[in-house]
């Protein structure tokens, strides 16, 4: 391929709005891409659109991450370098109707993914989190935010137990899909934040960034892991 990358990046939730655009940008930059999605909130048409826009094939795994034997197949079939993790139920109504299934889907799938990653010695992950769990007093605001916070804590503890992991957590605040266009930000610019995070993350480190869109800028603030304390600001124009 054009960038000379022999290994693949696994994008979970790669048929979603942001996930699919990240796949397109990764392929354009020469990466091999594998996608896993259960199409709960997306369709397979998106994958065809990725193929159409890039002229490249995309390995698709239409499945749920909660089934270990299926997740293992992805890592057996591909030489995975790392993971950009978008998969999860985002609907605010889902956790009200069935909180057990909601938490299982969001938490267990991430645990299963990390377990298989560790078994295959793939210890590089960028996790798409949310700033939605921080209320006025730092309290969680709803179950979606709570699940994201729990996953952040799980990743942090995985790192503490095995510092060989390379983990980057990006929290972003968005009301709905396509909100970027309303704020004069291209989705490709958002995607590049995740891609740069994947490229630049160092071995044996964990970092967390808050990402907000303001005045046509993407503002990144480094914060302490699963806490709200600011470390430094990084503004991308």
Tens of pLDDT, residues 208-223: 877 766 655 666 666 5
- Domain membership of residue 159 (yes or no) is yes
- Domain membership of residue 1 (yes or no) is no
Q: Cα dist. 27→52, 138, 231 in Å? A: 12, 38, 33
Kindly state the tokens that stand for 67.
Answer: 């089934």
- Domain membership of residue 80 (yes or no) is yes
Lowest mean pLDDT among 47-61, 171-185, 186-200, 202-216: 171-185
Count how many Cα atoms sit within 13 Å of the Cα of residue 7 in the half-sphere of its side chain. 11
Domain total in the chain: 1
- Domain membership of residue 19 (yes or no) is yes
- Domain membership of residue 3 (yes or no) is no
Task: Residue 178: give its domain's CATH number.
Answer: 3.40.50.720
pLDDT one-digit tens code per residue, 24-33: 999 999 999 9
Which residues form the domain of 124?
A: 8-236
- Check residue 202 and report its DSSP letter: P
| pTM for the full predicted model | 0.82
List residues with catalytic annotation. 144
- Domain membership of residue 55 (yes or no) is yes
CA angle at 160 for the pair 155 and 166, rounded to the nearest 5°:
60
Q: Which alpha helices (DSSP H) does the chain contain, by range?
A: 17-28, 45-54, 68-77, 94-97, 99-103, 109-119, 143-161, 179-182, 187-200
- Domain membership of residue 60 (yes or no) is yes
């Amino acid at each position: 391929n054009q960038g000379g990358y022999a290994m693949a990046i696994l994008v979970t939730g790669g048929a979603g709005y942001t996930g699919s655009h990240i796949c397109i940008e990764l392929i354009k930059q020469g990466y091999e891409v594998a996608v896993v999605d259960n199409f709960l909130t997306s369709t397979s048409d998106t994958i065809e659109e990725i193929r159409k826009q890039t002229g490249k094939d995309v390995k698709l795994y239409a499945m749920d991450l909660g089934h270990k034997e299926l997740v293992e197949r992805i890592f057996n079939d591909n030489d995975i370098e790392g993971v950009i993790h978008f998969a999860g139920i985002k609907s605010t109504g889902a956790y009200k109707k069935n909180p057990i299934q909601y938490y299982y889907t969001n938490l267990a799938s991430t645990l299963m993914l990390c377990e298989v990653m560790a078994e295959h010695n793939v210890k590089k992950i960028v996790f798409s989190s949310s700033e939605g769990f921080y209320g006025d007093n730092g309290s969680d605001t709803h179950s979606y935010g709570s699940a994201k916070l729990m996953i952040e804590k799980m990743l942090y503890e995985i790192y503490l137990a095995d510092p060989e992991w390379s983990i980057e957590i990006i929290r972003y605040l968005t009301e709905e899909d396509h909100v970027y266009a309303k704020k004069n930000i291209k989705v490709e610019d958002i995607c590049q934040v995740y891609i740069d995070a994947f490229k630049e993350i160092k071995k044996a480190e964990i970092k967390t960034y808050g990402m907000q869109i303001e005045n046509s800028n993407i503002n990144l603030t480094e914060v302490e892991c699963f806490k709200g304390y600011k470390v430094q600001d990084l503004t991308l124009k």
